[in-house]
Chains A and B, each alone.
Chain A
Amino acid sequence: MDNINTIPPRIIVDEHFIFFLEENKISGKYLDILSKVHRNSLIYPWEHNLLLDESFKRIKDVNKKLKFAIVGAFHPIPLWDNDGLHTSIIKLAISLSDKKPFEVVILTDEKNIGKYLNNKHYSEYAALKDVIKIYCGQDALNFLDRISISKATEEHS
């Protein structure tokens, strides 16, 4: 993440990460950071952070208050096929990895990180690990905390 001060990695989250924030009562703080990255992105304003449409629906079903905050922090993407959540997100990350800023971060929870790391589309090609990082728990929060003190969240509307 050498260029985190200018262009942070594209960020993809699943509903499990949002529920992790909710359970720890820190969704306000971290969705604020994510929304600033999202709208102030130099290359992809309002489209920088991504969330699958299916994940949005599941979050909304559990907590209706979250839907307005989620819309401000993520661009919804339709599920591509019937591969399921983890494969769809890995494929989405791969599709973004050859475009600026050439780095993608997937945020999830501790129960699901293994399903991404062991996904055959990710695990069988070593070079992907350099450009697609997958974080959960405190590592995910540390990543967002680093972004929050960088230029990536500076307002320049």
Chain B
Amino acid sequence: MEQAPAQQQTVLIVEDDQLLSGLLAVKMSKKFNTLAAGTGEAALEILKSSTPDLILLDILLPGIDGFEVLRRVKADPKTAGIPVIILSNLGEDADKAKGKQLGAEEFVVKVTLLPDEVVSLVESVCARHRGAK
């Protein structure tokens, strides 16, 4: 978990690959507070005590998968309003449709984006979400 100034927004990164999670956290930490979870269960545990401003969610996770995490996040009134970006290496049309149907704001394929592009996307979704509120 990275420490950052209090006024910054917080992003929960749910990613089982530690290298990817770490690289992303390095880039994100310049603009956001970051929380990291390596499994779906760990992510849900974090959400019991914290309310991040956005969740970056992988799908293929040990234990419960990202779709199930997303379903539970959207089912819980406390977390239902948190925007979720799915950042996965799955990218079939069916996966994208399922993600959208479960309430994900965006579905992006990890390998096609660079960390800077992920940060820009998170910023734009956060801005959109603030605007919607």
Whether A and B are associated in the same complex: the answer reads no
